[in-house]
């Protein structure tokens, strides 16, 4: 039975259409308001206009100086891209060892990967900050306020999830492919690079995108572990919005424009990797 026929069987068609319209409206109406507000003037948005009296892209030009968005976007892209690549690669290698080899503590590690997902990140903020500060004092290495310190923090939280995604996916890959490679004289690293990774590309993309989003959407850790020169786009946007509160004329139009510009890289990422993302999310459930 197809997915559409299954949905029609569970819900009557009029109710299904109504629910679909309501869910789409809940997502699209706020996005439409943000878009229209970014094309409006600050005065028009402050007065409560939904439809701009005159369309203007002036806010998109101002945010690069008022919100310091360019520096934040560069920092976010660098840190989050490195986290995505590192977590995807390390997660694949770790998952391959956990799936294909049996050793003492294997089940404990697998259970720990699941258990780590239940720990709220807010509880880890103070321990991570103290650990990074202590590393700077005892090792003479500056961690807090640097991009690579933020990279280590994000990788710590992204790697368990990426590893578990790859464990779920690799369990469905047939061992015969690896055995054929070994018959041809391929070593374990060569099998991993030439056979496992190409076949696991959808799952690798999924783990990488979720790792990217973990860093891109974070405000808490980035606010504590960065300084003005290394803060991310989320922190820059949050600081820009908070500094405008209580002003004579809040620059709501510029805040909306900055929010759309900050969301653009994520939307582009989904559009580019949409095919792999859908395949990776569904493959684990099917297998």
Phi-psi sector, 68: left (phi>0), alpha (psi -120 to 50), beta: left
Evaluate if residue 67 carries a pLDDT over 70: yes
Q: What is the pLDDT of residues 117-142, one digit of tens each?
A: 778 878 888 888 888 888 877 777 88
**Is-contact 244 67, C-beta < 8 A?**
no
Question: Which CATH number goes with the domain that contains 128?
Answer: 1.10.3720.10
Across the range 164-172, mean pLDDT stands at 87
Evaluate if residue 40 carries a pLDDT over 50: yes
**Is-contact 194 186, C-beta < 8 A?**
yes
Task: Count CB atoms within 10 A of the CB of residue 14.
Answer: 8
The torsion angle over the Cα atoms of residues 49, 51, 53 and 58, rounded to 10 degrees, is: 90
List all residues 6 or more positions away from 155 whose beta carbon is below 8 Å from its beta carbon: 83, 86, 87, 211
Higher pLDDT, 215 or 67: 215
Tokens encoding 144: 């807090």
Give residue 2's pLDDT band: very low, low, confident or very high (50, 70, 90): low
List all residues 6 or more positions away from 204 whose beta carbon is below 8 Å from its beta carbon: 88, 92, 166, 197, 280
Evaluate if residue 212 carries a pLDDT over 90: yes
In a domain, 31, yes or no: no
Evaluate if residue 10 carries a pLDDT over 80: no
In a domain, 3, yes or no: no
In a domain, 36, yes or no: no
Report the range of poorest mean pLDDT among 44-48, 92-96, 162-166, 258-262. 44-48
List all residues 6 or more positions away from 96 whose beta carbon is below 8 Å from its beta carbon: 166, 170, 192, 196
In a domain, 34, yes or no: no
Across the range 153-181, mean pLDDT stands at 87
Tokens encoding 155: 């990788």
**pLDDT reported for residue 22:** 94
Domains: count for the chain: 1
Higher pLDDT, 279 or 241: 241
In a domain, 190, yes or no: yes
Percentage of residues in the chain having pLDDT higher than 90: 20
Evaluate if residue 54 carries a pLDDT over 90: no
Q: What is the pLDDT of residues 263-285, one digit of tens each?
A: 999 989 888 887 777 665 555 44
In a domain, 248, yes or no: yes
**pLDDT reported for residue 285:** 44
Give residue 249's pLDDT band: very low, low, confident or very high (50, 70, 90): low
**pLDDT reported for residue 51:** 85
**pLDDT reported for residue 9:** 62
In a domain, 86, yes or no: yes
In a domain, 45, yes or no: no
- What Rg, from alpha-carbon coordinates, does the chain have? 23
Domain of residue 144 covers 65-286
**pLDDT reported for residue 5:** 55
**pLDDT reported for residue 32:** 92
Mean residue pLDDT across the chain:
84
């Amino acid at each position: 039975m197809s997915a559409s026929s299954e949905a029609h069987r569970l819900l009557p068609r009029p109710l299904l259409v109504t629910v679909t319209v309501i869910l789409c409206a809940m997502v699209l109406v706020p996005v439409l308001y943000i878009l229209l507000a970014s094309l409006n003037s600050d005065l028009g948005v402050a007065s409560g206009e939904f439809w701009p009296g005159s369309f203007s892209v002036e806010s998109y030009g101002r945010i690069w100086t008022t919100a310091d968005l360019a520096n934040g976007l560069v920092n976010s892209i660098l840190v989050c891209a490195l986290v995505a690549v590192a977590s995807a690669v390390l997660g694949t290698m770790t998952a391959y060892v956990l799936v294909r080899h049996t050793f003492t503590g294997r089940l404990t590690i697998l259970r720990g990967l699941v258990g780590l997902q239940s720990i709220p990140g807010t509880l880890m903020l103070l321990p991570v900050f103290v650990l990074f500060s202590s590393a700077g004092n005892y090792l003479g290495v500056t961690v807090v306020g640097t991009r690579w310190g933020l990279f280590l923090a994000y990788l710590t939280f992204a790697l368990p999830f990426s590893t578990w995604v790859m464990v779920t996916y690799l369990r469905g890959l047939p061992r015969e492919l690896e055995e054929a490679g070994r018959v041809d004289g391929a070593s374990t690293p060569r099998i991993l690079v030439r056979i496992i990774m190409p076949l696991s590309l959808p799952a690798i993309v999924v783990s990488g995108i979720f790792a990217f989003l973990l860093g891109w959407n974070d405000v808490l850790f980035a606010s504590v572990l960065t300084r003005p020169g290394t803060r991310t786009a989320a922190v820059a946007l949050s600081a820009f919005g908070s500094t405008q509160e209580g002003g004579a004329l809040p620059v709501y139009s510029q805040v909306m424009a900055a929010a759309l510009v900050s969301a653009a890289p994520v939307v582009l990422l989904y559009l580019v990797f949409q095919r792999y993302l859908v395949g990776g999310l569904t493959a684990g459930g099917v297998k």
